[in-house]
Structure 1
């Protein structure tokens, strides 16, 4: 994993002291809230319904046990004993006091963490596949290029004040686990016909009030031109993106209004002008950064483990956890262990200070000191020996972290909603909790199979409802909370925007409506092998709509 160099450390410390002065002036009344707002946003500090919220960057979702322990300490000392993992692989604190923020940032800097560019109209945290470096279907580790993008984009003088926030995602595998097609720029590592590795570039994806799937702007981009091509895209967007209407300021609107062919021409023309400049990426620099992401010192192990198989046979809970949460690793004798942050009846993505310390201990002992945050609000121990999985499971179980539901209906994404967010129209967390309780039976969840449910409390779509197999959007109807259902969304390599079923449902009826959708699927599917999404794509909205509004 990448370590700060001398410049990184000095810069982050300088930013902390600069912000400490700004906070002191705000508390003293020398800065109004309007004057303070752009300063705090540059440091990841939001003002929500009840308190400030601090969003801390976890670049491409990769961190270590020392950083996790520091996050636990901050949750305990400066917040209410928990933190919240987000859909951008970041972590949020919902209750810090303004006077403590500079000290929190100073403590984070001690473990090479910060909150810079986690908000504002700039290039945000570049996200990636949570299984990077471990996945069996990986072409190359995408985190290498995420780190290069991070270094290029941090405080880029030309892109600090874009028309709107800008999000980039990179995947290095054949399966898209980074949702690149709903990002402003999505990069997929691929091999061309000659076997050379480069990037397929997608532009103009996004959710919010105008959801769009990104369009391919270049089928193959050689590695050395990564930064110059990104720079060309950002320059065209910065020049032509709308600034008169924040709802139409994202690059997806520019793609829609200009057309992908014309926009491609503009990007390519700008790229031809700059591609052989200092932006050309030296391959030796790629190799230097690649060394930070070298594979751990894996042991040479058998592909199977007798201890693992015996424990799976003897312990039903362990067997269920393995079935749902454990994924094949590229290295024989190892596995990828997912930690669900969606226990029954709790807020998705939340984790307590003590639970964070448990995960830190497990990472240090069993996963080469690596932890990953996922865009679906879970955690991952990426490199666990099969022989160690039962011990990992037992420790997680004792800490309340062994929920066996990855990819199942209770493993839902949910934004903070009206309980925290000033922009929300409706609550998200109580709906998620109620659905979790309704579908708590693990055997029932396994029978339903893969089903990605996502909940947003407003049209800004922080809960990614547009790409949920079942999406739920909170809306305001004359001061009352109602919920609109969409079906058929998808965030992977077959990305799709869900379609609205019909009129919205009241807060009291939304859970029953979800159950109706699920029961309709169970009745129409062609055997257990047909997933919810496959069944929906086969039959369309009609049978679901008929049952919901009968």
Structure 2
């Protein structure tokens, strides 16, 4: 994990002190809310329906036990004892008092954390493969390159007032666990014909009111030129992106209007005229950053007798290992997914007690590392197979061992109308109702991979456009309705969902999901996932089942 140097520490501490002064001015009435708003947003503080919400940055979803314990302490002391992990791998606290915000920022600074660039028209938190450094299918550790981008982009003077917010995702594995094609810039590592590493560069993805999958504008960019090429992209966007209409200001609109080919031509022209040497990272600096992520593993047997014995004797443990355990690049280790999707609870919520437990497990069993993924779950990336039974037992006791990764109850949901001023409808209760219908673990396992994603408004924080089943809350004359899409995917086979039909009333949504699942079970062929069956049959049988009794 990257550690702050002296300059980093001083800067973050100074920023927290500066914000304390500004909050004091606001509480004293020396500045109005309108004057204060841009100041608080620069520090990740939003004013939502019931209280202030603080969004805390978790760069590329990586934490250690010290950081997670601090988040647990802050949630316990200044909030209501829990936090909400988001699809951007950040943590949100939804019940913050303004007077406490400076204290929170100081606590964060103590453990090398902050909330800068979690809001505003800037380059936001960089996301990366949550299995980085642990999975055997990666070409390189994407956290290294995410940290390079983070350092380059933090308070970059040229890109601190972009036409609109800007998001970047990095992956280095064949399996896309970051949804790179729905980002403003998606970077997927590739190996060139000469063996050198580079990136496929995708630009112009994004969801929301006008969803797009980002087209590839460069098939192979050598890694040494990453920063100068990103600079060229952002310069083209900064110069040509719209600033007169926030709904048309994202880079996806510019790429769509120009066409991917013309946009790529402009980027290449901008890049060719720039002085790459002044921007691209020196090898010595890259080596310094890379050293921060070096990790060594013990030489262990590939097989654990204790692990295999429990798997053979305990069906519950065996089921959990099938869904929440993944192969590690080092023999004798495993990647453990920690479910924050207990049926009946809020997807992505984690109590202070649960954070403390995961921090303890990470420190003792996972080389002091924790990850957050965009599915709103946590990960212990480096657990010895011999230790997996004990880790499972402790997670289970804390309600963190639901065996449902990528299954029907592993639902992504934004906070929706329960918290957010932008939302049109609730998302959390819909997720809870759906999960309750599929709480039977054997049934969920028989259904197999099925990714349900729910957004409470068109901003699509729940990624509904790329859900196998996507659900979007809409307002119809003051009543909550939900538009359903089918067949989306945020993975390496990225697609946008197809609208099922007219929006459904709130009380119909969970039932409609169950009806669509029944169609899938009836129609599927051997080995087909829900997504495969939909792609083969099309929308017709699902639509017929859902709307047969609506009118």
Instruction: Name the TM-score class by shorter chain.
Output: over 0.9
Instruction: Show the counterpart of 2:161.
Output: 161
Q: Which residue of 2 aligns with 1:540?
A: 538
List alignment gaps of at least 5 residues for structure 1.
Answer: none
CA distance in 2, matches of 1:199, 1:9: 31
In the TM superposition, structure 1's runs of 4+ consecutive aligned residues that sit over 4 Å from their partners are none
2:160 match: secondary structure: coil
Which sections of structure 2, spanning at least 5 residues, go unmatched? none
Counterpart position of 2:132: 132
Q: 2:375 maps to which residue? A: 376
1:309 aligns with 2:300: no
Aligned partners of 1:548 and 1:316: how far apart in 2? 35
For 1:506-548, what per-residue CA distance to the aligned partner results, in whole angstroms no more than 9, with x for missing partners? Answer: 1111100010111100000013x11111111111111111111
| Paired residue secondary structure (1:455) | strand
What is the match of residue 514 of structure 2? 515
CA distance in 2, matches of 1:274, 1:227: 11
Counterpart Cα distance in 1 of 2:315 and 2:53: 40
What SS does the corresponding residue of 2:157 show, helix, strand or coil? coil
Return the offset for 1:201: 0.4
Question: Structure 1: how far apart are the matches of 2:493 and 2:323?
Answer: 22
> How far apart, in 2, do the equivalents of 1:435 and 1:67 lie?
33
Once the 2 structures are TM-superposed, how far is the Cα of residue 277 of structure 1 from its aligned partner?
3.5
Q: CA deviation at 1:445?
A: 0.6
Shift of 1:290: 0.7
CA shift, 1:299, in A, is 1.1
CA distance in 2, matches of 1:479, 1:437: 27
Question: 2:350 aligns to what SS in structure 1?
Answer: strand
Indicate the SS of the match to 2:480.
Answer: strand
Q: Give the match for residue 217 of structure 1.
A: 217
SS in 2 for 1:208: coil
Give the deviation of 1:284 after TM superposition. Answer: 2.4
Listed one character per residue, the Cα deviations across residues 258-306 of structure 1 (whole Å, up to 9, x for unaligned) are 11111111100110111424102212222211110112x3111111111
Report the alpha carbon displacement of residue 549 of structure 1 after superposing the two structures with TM.
1.3
> Which residue in the other structure is 1:200 paired with?
200
Aligned: 1:485 with 2:504: no
- Structure 2: distance between partners of 1:438 and 1:155: 46
Aligned position for 2:110: 110
Map 1:244-283 onto structure 2 (within 5 A): 244-283=244-283
SS of 1:508 mapped into structure 2: helix
> Retained in 2: the 8 A contact 1:54–1:94?
yes
CA distance in 2, matches of 1:354, 1:281: 41
Contact in 2 for aligned 1:20/1:102 (Cα 8 Å): yes
Q: Which residue of 2 aligns with 1:501?
A: 500
Query: What's the counterpart of residue 436 of structure 2?
Result: 437
TM-score by length of 1: 0.99
Report the CA distance between 1:362 and its aligned residue. Answer: 0.1
Match of 1:453 in 2: 452
TM-score by length of 2: 0.99
1:312 and 1:169 mapped to 2: Cα distance?
Answer: 36
C-alpha distance in 2, partners of 1:276/1:413?
Answer: 40
Which deviations, in whole Å up to 9, do the C-alpha atoms of 1:441-460 show, x marking residues without a partner? 01111111000000000000
Q: Is the 8 A contact 1:415 1:428 kept in 2?
A: yes
Once the two structures are superposed, the pairs formed by residues 70-89 of structure 1 within 5 Å of their partners are: 70-89=70-89
